[in-house]
């Protein structure tokens, strides 16, 4: 009798637990979703002006005021997808170029978590803008790497595959750039480099020669309109073209093929705005030192000869965005 009573009691507890869990699931998944804003407030537009002047001015030291303004704009209208994404972007910029700081605080890693949170919100508000999905994937991968969380890293990887599928012209670069820190002999690094080549292919509509890397014939395709605008220079990223080839040259050199790396670097000079680019000297030194940089790019961070790729440098964002 006592055994039967215990079994009945246990079954009741289990049933109650299942019922409560079910209620929680139903309550959460039937909650009304945020509806994206159809207009933007003067406060948000003012915050945007500060965001762009800070980014285009490469004014890393004043990220905090821009972040304060964009976060305040977000809090006043939490359904503004643009303000939400800008908050995420400022957090990821602060993390990405942390080596500008004299001393890098451990808490800088919180920027990965915050960036991921805000890009999740931005994707939910505007799922049609696949750039947000690419940034979400990048932030998720960063957070997973920081916390050695393999499940989150894998989630970020598959989010990135979704982002590539949705907008290859933009997210093939984002994917490869994010993974440029992987070991050169790893499958993920080889895939990251191939994604850069595929990015060129989708931008120009044919397979770019993998040895000559010749790009001059494609320059008449340059545009600042439509989906292919992200392949060239625009108001948002005034030196996107130069920065792309600086990074891709770095990645090719890291792979061991410094000869092709030099050719990729040279493509940056095809830009009509090359002479106004703040990182010309960096590129020229990369061309000069390409052969020895194979070892430098592959050295451990604490090694005397270590040199970071563009993706891990103090100009990882502004090489494309600085006016």
- What are the pLDDT digits (tens) for 185-233? 999 999 999 999 999 999 999 999 999 999 999 999 999 999 999 999 9
- Contact (CB, 8 A) for 86 and 48: yes
Q: What is the pTM of this model?
A: 0.90
Is the pLDDT reported for residue 292 higher than 80?
yes
What integer best gives the mean pLDDT of the chain?
A: 94
In the predicted structure, residue 12 carries a pLDDT above the cut 80: no
Return the pLDDT at 277: 98
Q: In this predicted model, which residue has the larger pLDDT, 90 or 34?
A: 90
- Rounded CA gap, 5 and 28, in Å? 35
Q: In the prediction, which pLDDT does 147 show?
A: 97
CA distance 51 to 63: 8
Q: What mean pLDDT is predicted for residues 128-139?
A: 98
> 31-40, 56-65, 160-169, 299-308: which range is least confident on average?
31-40
3-state SS class at 248: helix
As given in the structure block, the two tokens for residue 281 are 């000297």
Tens digit of pLDDT for each residue in 230-241? 999 999 999 999
Q: What pLDDT, on a 0 to 100 scale, did the predictor assign at position 1?
A: 58
Residues 6+ apart with CB under 8 A from 287: 262, 265, 266
Instruction: Sketch the domain layout of the chain as residue ranges.
Output: 42-166, 191-323
| Locus of tokens 């905090």 | 64
- 43: nearest Cα among 99, 86, 107: 86
Is the pLDDT at 262 greater than 90, yes or no? yes
CB crowding 241-253: b at 16 or more within 10 Å, else e: bbbbbbbbbbbbb
Sign of the torsion formed by the C-alpha atoms of 85, 87, 93 and 96: negative
What CATH superfamily is the domain 42-166?
Tetratricopeptide repeat domain (1.25.40.10)
- What is the structure's pLDDT at 64? 98
Place of tokens 């993920």: 188
Nearest to 188 by CA among 198, 178, 200: 178
| Residue 14 reports pLDDT greater than 80 | no
Per-residue model confidence as pLDDT tens digits over 79-115: 999 999 999 999 999 999 999 999 999 999 999 999 9
DSSP 208: P
């Amino acid at each position: 009798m006592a055994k039967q009573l215990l079994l009945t009691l246990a079954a009741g507890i289990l049933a109650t637990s299942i019922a409560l869990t079910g209620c929680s699931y139903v309550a959460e998944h039937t909650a009304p979703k945020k509806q994206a804003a159809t207009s933007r407030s003067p406060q948000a537009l003012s915050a945007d002006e500060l965001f762009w002047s800070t980014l285009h001015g490469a004014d890393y030291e004043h990220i905090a005021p821009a972040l304060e303004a964009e976060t305040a704009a977000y809090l006043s209208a939490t359904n503004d997808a643009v303000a939400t994404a800008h908050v995420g972007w400022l957090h990821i910029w602060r993390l990405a170029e942390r080596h500008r700081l004299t001393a890098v605080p451990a808490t800088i890693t919180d920027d990965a978590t915050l960036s991921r949170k805000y890009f999740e919100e931005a994707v939910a508000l505007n799922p049609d803008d696949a750039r947000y999905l690419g940034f979400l994937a990048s932030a998720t991968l960063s957070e997973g790497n920081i916390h050695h969380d393999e499940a989150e890293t894998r989630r970020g990887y598959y989010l990135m595959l979704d982002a590539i599928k949705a907008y290859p012209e933009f997210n093939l670069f984002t994917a490869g750039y994010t993974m440029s820190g992987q070991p050169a002999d790893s499958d993920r690094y080889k895939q990251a480099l191939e994604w850069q080549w595929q990015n060129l292919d989708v931008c120009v509509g044919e397979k770019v020669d993998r040895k000559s890397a010749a790009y001059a014939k494609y320059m008449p395709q340059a545009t600042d309109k439509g989906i292919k605008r992200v392949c060239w220079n625009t108001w948002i990223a005034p030196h996107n073209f130069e920065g792309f080839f600086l990074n891709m040259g770095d990645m090719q050199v890291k792979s061991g093929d410094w000869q092709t790396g030099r050719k990729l670097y040279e493509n940056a000079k095809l830009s009509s705005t090359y002479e106004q680019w703040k990182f010309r000297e960096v590129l020229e030194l990369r061309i000069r030192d390409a052969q020895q940089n194979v070892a430098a790019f592959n050295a451990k961070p604490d090694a005397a000869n270590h040199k970071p790729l563009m993706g891990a440098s103090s100009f990882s964002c502004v090489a494309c965005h600085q006016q």
